[in-house]
Each structure stands twice: as C-alpha cells, then as structure tokens.
Structure 1
Amino acid sequence: MSRSLTPLNQSTSPGKPATVTARPPAPALTAPSLDYAYDGSFEGLLTVLFTIYDRKAAPNSIQPEGAVQGGLFVQPLLVETHEATATRVWEGLLRHMTAEARTRLFHAFLSEQPDRELVIFRYADLAMRSAQDIADNYADDNVRRVAHLAQQMGREKHRMEAFVRFEKTADELFHATIEPDFDVLPLIAPHFTKRYADQRWLIYDRRRHYGLYYDLHRTDIVQFEPDTAAPRRSTSVSATVLDEREPLFKVLWQTYFDHVNIPERKNIKLHRRHIPLRYWKYLSEKQPRETRFEPIKNKRPPQADNLRLG
C-alpha cells in the first residue's frame, strides 16, 4: 500500500479553529448499505468517505484490499484512490471540526486497529450532522475511541523519539531499527529531520517493512521487501557494514550510562514503567557489557584538616 509522511501535505496549524457557520448539510444515506474496499492508504480511505456520500450508501464494512473478507454473494466495492478527491475531503473536514480534531483522525488511522475505518467514518459523519463541535463529546463511543487512539499514538511517538539508537555504517549512514506498537514513522519524521539535519540517516520499522530515509535534503518513505528467512532475533545491521569506530561508540555510551546511574536509587518497577521492556532490545545501554563495569575509584578520603571544628 502507498504511504505518505503527512496527510495530503497539509500545513494547517493544529490549533486553528473550525468554521462553525454555514456548514453544508451532510447527504442522507438513503441507498442500500455497501461493503467497501480500498488500497490501505489514508488517501484511499478519504476517497472511500467521498464515495459513501456520493452514492448515499452507508458502509457495512471498509477493509483494505488485501484483507477483504467477502461472503459468497457479497462482493465489496473497490474504490480507486484519487489524490484530488482525497485532498478535497481532507480540506472539507475543516468545515465541521477543528484542525486538531482532524489530526486525531489521521492518528486513529495510524493506530492500525482492525475497525479503524468504520470508527473514522462514524466520527466524521457525526461531526457533519452535528450543529456544534463534537471533539469533547466523550459521551459518544466513537469520539471517545478516537481520542483514546490519538492519546496512545502520542505516547508511542514520544517514546520513539526518545528511544531510537543509531549505528553508524562505513558509508556515513546512521541506521536505526525500531518495532513500535503503532505506525508512528509519519509522526516522528519532522522531529528527526530537524534534529539530525546534518547527517544521512535511516530509521527502519521492522514490523511494517518500511522506513524513513533522510539524504541531507529531504525525508522520504522507503519500502523494503519482507525477508521471511531472516532471523527475528537480530536487531542491528551486520557488523561488516558498520563503521570501525561503532563498537567504541557503543562502549562509551554504555560506560556513560553506567556511571550516571545511582545504584542506591534503583527502582526497577518505575524504570520499566518509563522504558517498557519491549524496547530494551533496541537500546544500546541495555545490551550485554563487553567489559565489566567498575565504579569510579578516584574519590579521596576526607582529610583530617577538614574534620576539625572552628
């Protein structure tokens, strides 16, 4: 399926209020319900939303093309993605909701929940049929669900921005492997593009077989073919392509981590709450030490002159 870093390259600020006046009424869905299929992209889903109101046929289901489960007598309507139509729908949503609420729909889509498409449709449909903003209407199941998914995405985005560890290859490329619970690469792209603007880097999502590549000018989506024969336990690039100084960098980072740690204040339960165990295999400081840690022994005993009073 096609992927994009930002939904339709919109630059609308999240805090911009929606236009409440002159809302066009949503068409009544009077035709028999249909099952819809699309290519799995966010632009494809927006095209499906347009098709629903164009045909005035509510969805029984909305499924990615590769996951369609039709019955013997039921063939889903395959909706072809149109960028212009998707852009029209994306911009049109601002007539019924704030930019921040619209962004929540994109975050809900990236959550990869099995019923995300219907949840997004129901949220948008409710917004179009309501006389006021529904973003805080937590009495509605769909509004509450979208808000919860957006909150989960925010936490995962924050963790990925903190837990990514790069390895330098021989050709000056900084590589990192991640395996997040949700599809957060489109959300973390601006952070890494701004923070590491002076170096080439690649962040690879092992679970979804695609990554972000920055070439000193722009950040692009790069797709990889899944390698079913590759061992799942490997979490880094082959040592044969790493920079010869990379093992030293790893040791230096581990040494720094060990020396800033305070053993007397160790709280494993709290530590695992802030850094969940599932991320440890990608963190350099959590890997086995090549050299045994020794505490710093340069502290001098107190001098007798310092102990005298007065």
Structure 2
Amino acid sequence: MSQLTPLRRPAASTAVGPVAARPPAPELHNPPADYTYDGSFEGLLTVLFRVYDRKSAPSSIQVEGTAQGGLFAQAVAITTEETLATRTWEGLLRFMPEPARARLYHVFLSEDPERELLIFRYADMALRAGRDISDNYADATVRRCQRLAQQLFREKHRMEAFVRFEKAQDGLFHATIEPDFDTLPLIASHFTKRYADQRWLIFDRKRRYGLYYDLVQTTIVEFETDGASPRRGEVSATVLDEREPLFKILWQAYFDHVNIPERKNLKLHQRHIPKRYWKYLSEKQPRERRFEPIKNKRPPGPPALPGPA
C-alpha cells in the first residue's frame, strides 16, 4: 500500500428553503479552449470555476497525460485548488437543489467518456435557467445524466449484495471487486455500518485502490503495482485463515441443500445475478466436495399408535 488517506466525499449542504437569489450568469464570450486536470472531482470543480473566470467555454476537458490536443491550440492545464473546488461545489446550490447537485457527482463516478462535458453542460444550463432543470427530460444532457446516475446506483446495490469476504490470518476480512463504475465512495457507508465490529478491506482491482476499515474509521488506500495482471482474490492462499476453505465448503453446501432443482429457472436467475458477478460468489465457484443429500431423515413407516390412556 502506498498511502492511507481519509475517505472524503462532497460535503452535504445544510441549506434549507428555496434556492437563493443569484447574479446573472456570466457570458462565455472568449474563444473555446481545451482544459486538462488531474482527474479528481475536486480538479473538475476547479476547472468549472476557471471556465467562468476565463469566460471561455470548454471544447474539451481531459485528464492530464491522456489529453489529445488540437493541431494549433495548446491545452489549458488547470491546477486543483481545494478552496476554489469547495466554493464551486457550494455555489452549485444557488441554482440547483441538493439532489441535482449530488447527481453531478454520480455522473463523475460513472466514468463515462464524456462525463466532464456532461457535468459542465448540465451546470451551465441550470445556471442560465435559474431554476431546477432535473425534470427537463426533453433535453438530451439531462436525460443522459439521469440515466448514468441510475446505472451507477444499480451497480452500487449489486456490489452491496454480491461482495464476499475472505478472512486472513491476521483477522482482516478482504474482498476484491471489479465493478463497471467507481462505486467504492458510495458503498463505504453501507459496509462501515454493517461490519462495524471487524476490520475489513474492499479492493477495486480495476482502479487499483480500496476501502479499509480499522474499527474506527473508513479510509482510502492506494496500492502500488508492478504492472502484472493479478489473479482473482489478490491475496495468496498462504495468508488466509486456515478455516477459510472450510467456510467456503460450508457456504456451498448450504446453497446446494436449499436449492430446489424442480424450480430451476436459469434465465430468471441470470437476470437477478448476471454472470459477470459470479466470480465474486463462493457458491458459484467449482465444488471441492461432491454434493450429497442430507441423510438424517427418518425412513417412511407406519404411524405410531397412541398408547393406552
């Protein structure tokens, strides 16, 4: 692990009542520009501030190192500033309600290729409309943001349901996931409350960072990598608790015995648990022991007669 930092999310506002009055939206009369930032949400909020400060609309907003510039235009590199990011995040409530503002953060977590421009367009439309535009589904940007937020929350709920922990020798429970969207910031609260009495680590193999709970707080941990493709589980079997294989066998046996073959409906099963999630589930892994029916049932026989009164 390279570093350990507190888990941070955009702060919720305590503002109540109607949206406050605001000055007219500034005109972006300068030629459009290409912007680059560090890839963080705070960095994107800083870009939004600089767009109106420079009065130059973005033709593109790209992450540093992956930006593809034009032939004649030099990209404008924006340095993340926490003060400006906080000012922008709080200022969004001046022309949109808190649920709509949160949706912009969810669009960012969706990692859609056009997420930066979607967030700018949505914020700019709301700024110029001076009202909540979240129900304006006639607009393509609003529809796209709503759809991305729905897909993100669907993935969030599945991660909360399908994460399976393994116990290491030092008592740490760990799980490896690889969701389509960056769901770790959204599932942190769920697992912190549900497993508050044990140390655990949830590692996102695709994004190379994780959540670590130490019985006090949940923090973000980032991992160094040598570029090798890790295998499922990320943790060698030599560091697992010696009882972990038994737990896996017992879990599989439980699912085998509660299964009703006559009511098997594979199509419905895959609709509720898509195949791409099966790699997380112990009950979907190859059986180490052959299934045997329970043999503790009484053999059929004549009913017992009541004794003399």
Query: Does the pair score TM above 0.5?
Result: yes
Note the C-alpha offset of 1:18.
Answer: 6.9
Please state whether the residue corresponding to 2:28 is helix, strand or coil. Answer: coil
- The superposition leaves residues 221-252 of structure 1 with CA deviations (integer Å, 9 ceiling, x where unpaired) of 11112343245x43352110001111111111
- State the distance in 2 between where 1:52 and 1:109 align: 18
Stretches of structure 1 that go unaligned for 5 or more consecutive residues are: none
**Equivalent residues of 1:18, 1:95 under 8 A apart:** no
For 1:245, which of 243, 260, 271 is the aligned residue?
A: 243
8 Å contact 2:160–2:190 — kept in the other structure?
A: yes
TM-score when normalising by structure 2? 0.92
Match for residue 11 of structure 1? 12
Shift in CA distance, 275/55, structure 1 to aligned 2, threshold 3 Å: same
Whole-angstrom CA distance in 2 between matches of 1:105 and 1:166: 31
Percent of matched pairs sharing the same residue: 70
Which one of the candidate residues 283, 286, 293 is aligned to 1:285?
283
Is this contact kept in 2: 1:4–1:186, CA < 8 A?
Answer: no
Q: TM-score, normalised by structure 1?
A: 0.92
Contact 2:6 2:218 in 1 (8 A): no
Aligned counterpart in structure 2 of residue 259 of structure 1, from 254, 257, 260: 257
Task: Confirm or deny: 8 A CA contact 1:5 1:187 kept in the other structure.
Answer: no
The letter of the residue matching 2:66 is A
Q: Which AA in structure 1 matches 2:9?
A: P
Q: Is the 8 A contact 2:19 2:97 kept in 1?
A: no
1:38–1:65 Cα contact (<8 Å) kept? yes
Give the whole-Å Cα distance in 1 for the aligned partners of 2:28 and 2:272: 47
| Stretches of structure 2 lacking an aligned partner (at least 5 in a row) | 305-309
Residues 5, 24 of structure 1: CA spacing in aligned structure 2 closer, same or farther, 3 A cutoff? farther
Moved more, 133-142 or 288-297: 288-297
Contact 2:175 2:233 in 1 (8 A): no
Q: Matches of 1:173 and 1:137 in 2, distance apart?
A: 47
Letter in 2 for 1:295: P
| 1:84 equivalent in structure 2 | 83
Contact 1:167–1:246 (CA under 8 A) maintained in structure 2: yes
Counterparts of 1:50-69 in structure 2, within 5 Å, are 50-69=49-68
Deviation at 1:57, TM superposition (A): 0.4
Cα distance change, pair 125–5 in 1 and its aligned pair in 2 (3 A): farther
Distance 1:18 1:93 in 2: 15
Find the residue that maps to 1:11 and give its secondary structure: coil
1:179-225: CA deviation from partner (whole Å, max 9, x where unpaired): 00011001100111111111111100001111111111111111112
1:19, 1:96 within 8 Å by CA — same for their partners in 2? no
Q: What is the root-mean-square deviation in Å for CA atoms of aligned residues?
A: 2.0
Q: CA offset at residue 7 of structure 1?
A: 3.2
Give yes or no for contact 1:166–1:175 (8 Å, CA) kept in 2. yes
Deviation at 1:5? Answer: 4.2
Q: Where do 1:1-310 residues align within 5 Å? A: 5-8=7-10, 10-12=11-13, 19-231=18-230, 233-301=231-299, 303-305=301-303
Aligned partner of 2:117: which letter?
Answer: L
